[in-house]
Structure 1
Amino acid sequence: MTGRLRFDGWILGAGTTSGTRVVVGHWPRSPLGPLSDVMVQRPDEHRVLLAPSAAAAEFIAATYAFDEVRVLDVGVHRPDERTWTVSAGPLRLTVRTGRRPPLGWLLRAVPAPLARTPAWVGLLDRPARLVTGLRTTGSAGNGRTEWYGVQDLHAVTAADGSWDGEPLGGLAPVRPPVSFGFGSVPPRPSVVRVTTTVRVPSDDQGP
């Protein structure tokens, strides 16, 4: 796949008191069809990708950096508006979200068609770095470029999970920041509504 590819959905980022940090991508609309993936950074900084198919694993691993890639079933469900449940190999995670903070209301005020466009996202990169320390656009792996068009945000208020049956502990800030690529997630655990656009060079040999 080459050109500009759009993944439309949600990103959930949360830390735990055990030191494990989890980033969940839930994409009802993507070039690879509906999918969910999980990026996990363990307390020893070991980075694991949990992907639902070989094609998804190949694309994501060519865009971000991991120490280990596993292909397995990834299930993300929302039994109600404020609950997310994640089941992916060794990971079990349930989180609860709260109200939309002021930043969420500000993001919601921008019309979604504008918020998704790379030109608009590029304009926001410098203010985002100054205000949050995060980037909205930048270079990814294999000569790829990404734009994160964030359209909404809710804080995560509680989390409960395990890795290989061992409890991950309670909710904690995402610190140290995850290091899968140039982009991260806010230190405060949150769920963002986002459209991620990835530009893949024509000579890229990805899927």
Structure 2
Amino acid sequence: MALRDPGPSRIPGGSRRRPRLRFEGWIAGTGTSSGTRIVLGHWRRSPFGPFSDVMLERPGGQRMLLAPTPETAEFISGTYVFDTVRVVPVDVGVADGTWTVTAGPLDLRFTTGRRRLAGYLLCAVPGALARRPAWSALTDRPARLLLPGVRTRGSAGAGRREWYGARDLRAIRAVSAFFEGADLGAAAPVEPPVRFGFGSVPRKPGVTRVSTTVVLGSE
């Protein structure tokens, strides 16, 4: 059954508060020398259970979502903007720093390198603090200054609000990617920034551990 906005709920004191959905996992972002930019969401905990999804932006600007179920496709496409949505199996394997992704027309493999300086700083942030929207609001301006295109909070589709609390960051060293059998080329900066939502992933290819909060509707 699709997850839909149930509307505001009553809380003590007579105030009204929109439901908050929590996603815990990793976001990997990389460009390729062919111009295709790829964003992988690998979620260990979510309202839909564990799942992974892929967002691609092609050189001509076409934005595509590859999601594993109709329910996840409906929710993600209601939060972000795509020209094409496909429901396909999305399988992700991680072993010894190597990620292997199979998602319909996409075959992706990449390896992670050393933790970046920002990664060491993010690891020092307690998980409970990183999950707080107030923390994401506080870090939004520094993130925009240090990582152009990156936002930690903003407005999403269907009147939703979203916050990202980063908890680690590692570089992506090497990428092998094929789309519908065509080689997408080597790893490259995510340039221009992807246009799925209010912000992009970092320009330098990397994997970020995140706690994401989505508020359904406006508060």
Counterpart for residue 87 of structure 2: 71
Counterpart for residue 35 of structure 1: 51
Cα deviations across residues 105-124 of structure 1 (Å, max 9, x unaligned)?
A: 01111111101111111111
Counterpart for residue 17 of structure 1: 33
Aligned 8 A contact 2:161 2:218 in 1: no
Count of paired positions: 202
Matches within 5 A, 1:31-180: 31-80=47-96, 82-133=97-148, 134-180=150-196
When the two structures are superposed, what TM-score results if normalisation uses the length of structure 1?
0.95
Aligned 8 A contact 2:160 2:218 in 1: no
TM-superposed CA distance for 1:79, in Å, is: 2.4
Structure 2 gap ranges (5+): 6-18
Aligned partners of 2:218, 2:116: CA distance in 1, in Å?
40
Q: Percent identity?
A: 59
When the two structures are superposed, what TM-score results if normalisation uses the length of structure 2?
0.90
Q: Give the aligned CA root-mean-square deviation in angstroms.
A: 1.2
Aligned partners of 1:120, 1:139: CA distance in 2, in Å?
16
Query: Match for 1:49: what amino acid?
Result: L
Aligned 8 A contact 2:159 2:218 in 1: no
Query: Match for 1:131: what amino acid?
Result: L
Counterpart for residue 192 of structure 1: 208
1:184 alignment partner, SS class: coil
Structure exhibiting the larger radius of gyration computed from Cα positions: 2
Cα deviations across residues 12-45 of structure 1 (Å, max 9, x unaligned)?
A: 0000000011000000100011110000111111
Aligned partners of 2:61, 2:80: CA distance in 1, in Å?
15
Query: Match for 1:10: what amino acid?
Result: W
TM-superposed CA distance for 1:77, in Å, is: 0.7
Aligned partners of 1:183, 1:6: CA distance in 2, in Å?
19
Aligned partners of 1:169, 1:34: CA distance in 2, in Å?
30
1:99 alignment partner, SS class: strand
Aligned partners of 2:22, 2:197: CA distance in 1, in Å?
18
